[in-house]
Structure formats: C-alpha cells, structure tokens
Amino acid sequence: MSLDMFRLDNRVALVTGASKGLGLDMAKALAEVGADVIVTSRGLGDAQKAARDIVTSTGRRALGLACDVTNRSQVEQTVADALAHFGQVDILVNNAGINIRKPITELSDEEWRQVMDTNLSGPFYLCRALAKNFMERRYGRVINIGSILSTVSIAGRTPYASSKGGLLLFTKTLALEWAPYGVTVNIICPGPFQTAMNESLLKDPEAYKAFIAKIPLGRWGRPGELNGAVVFLASDASSFVTGAMLAVDGGWTAQ
C-alpha cells in the first residue's frame, strides 16, 4: 500500500480557531503532509503569527486571517479572501470552539448564545459559505471538531454538550446532503487535551485526577494526538468515509 494516499499536495485547508491549541496543531499537521493552509482566529495578529510558524516549520504557504465564526458576514468575507488567495478550498476544519461551565441556574442568555453561536452556528456559516466551492468542484473534506460531549455528558455543561451534540447530527445530515457531490463530512470527537480551554481543570488537581479516572488509557491526550485523525479524514485515505464519528478520547466513550 502506498502511503501517498495520506499526502495533501495541491490541497488547500481552512482551519478555524487555529491560532493556538488543537487547531494550530492540526493546521501544522495538514501542512506537514503537503497542504497550503488558511489559519483563522478572532485576533488577526495571532492568526498571522500562527501562519508564519507554519511557513517556517513546514515550508508550505499559509495565510492568517481574522474571523469570528459567530459573525456571518466575517465568515463570508474570510471564505471570499481565502478563495481569492488560493483559488480553492479543499478541506475545512471547523475547530473554533469555547466552553462555559456552569449550572443552568447560573447561565445567562448571552453565555448560552455565545457557546451555541461559536460551536454550532460557526460550522453552519462556514459550510454554507463554502458550499458552492465544494459542490461545483465535486470535491471537499469537511472535518468538524466535536467532543466526548457530543455523545455523553457531564453536569454543568448544558451549552457545550448541546452544541457539540448538535454538531454530530449537523455532520451526519450534511454528509447525506453532500454525498452526491463527492464531498465528505465527518466529525472527530476528542477527549481531554491540555489546552487553554481546560486551564481551570488543569489548575485543580482533584478535577484533573477525576478526569483521568474516566479515561481507560489513564491519561490526558498529548499534543499531536489528533493529527493522525485529521490527516486521515482530510486525505484520499478516507475516500469511502462520510458521516462518521472518530473518537480520539483514550476510550472515554467506550464505557
């Protein structure tokens, strides 16, 4: 078997929320196997810095753009800029996400909306803005970043789990809708990784240990442990995979 099926030469990937954390790792991984990348986050400086890092470490082309995924017109402008710069987008990684952990009685309308808008409306705006590009070219790879909380839950996570559970069915529905166009739509559901999003858990030794107790492999995810999954789903190696959920969670959701 040729490992070339994992290569992404001549492909262009757009990764949202790629200024740091899992998004930056995945954008770098896609570039390492040959893709040119557009990295976005709300802060232009952070996105541009991430793009420079990727150019330096991989030698691929990378463009950093400011895009708040909750803002439909910014998303549409970002897609227009990406297409103007690279001429095509082959791979979309809907990674930008936030979490607000509170009991429902303490959640404001604004907090609920912020999480739903970022984690669920954002992927909707991106996919819709790229629909013409994917459908006309009869090619595309959409990879949504869900969570273990797409399928199971923890108290105090109503907005996060609702948004990530919604993203799972968004993924399956769009996979069916776009299958006739040769566009695949899949979701990666990570377990806990040590990123800024989990700062409060990482600072709390009890919470950290309680998480480990739920992970059959007995540890948190390490940097780079999503890279194989994202490269697989972005590449021709996954040509017959659509509407699928790939758990990368140390076994959490097997229980």
Residue numbers at the binding site for ligand NDP (CB under 6 A): 16-23, 41-43, 46, 67-70, 95-98, 118, 145, 147, 190, 192-193, 195-198
Alpha-carbon dihedral angle through residues 50, 245, 35, 52, given to the nearest 10 degrees: 0
Smaller CB separation from ligand NDP, 18 or 35: 18
Residue 160 a catalytic site member: yes
Structure tokens that stand for 21 in this block: 């954390």
The rounded Cα 176 to chain-centroid distance in angstroms is 20
Give the DSSP H or E segment for 40. strand 36-41
Smaller CB separation from ligand NDP, 42 or 137: 42
Q: Answer for the pair 144, 96: CB distance below 8 angstroms, yes or no.
A: no
**Smallest gap, in angstroms, from Cβ of residue 1 to ligand NDP?**
30
- Identified catalytic residue from 125, 139, 160, 181: 160
Q: How far apart are CA 187 and CA 229, in angstroms?
A: 10
**Closest CA relative to residue 155, chosen from 98, 109, 210:** 210
Smaller CB separation from ligand NDP, 106 or 199: 199
- Residue 55 has phi, psi (to 5 degrees) of -60, -45
**Smallest gap, in angstroms, from Cβ of residue 95 to ligand NDP?**
5
* DSSP 8-state symbol, 17: S
**Smallest gap, in angstroms, from Cβ of residue 76 to ligand NDP?**
14
Q: Answer for the pair 37, 30: CB distance below 8 angstroms, yes or no.
A: yes
**Smallest gap, in angstroms, from Cβ of residue 34 to ligand NDP?**
23
Smaller CB separation from ligand NDP, 139 or 208: 208
Residues annotated as catalytic are 160
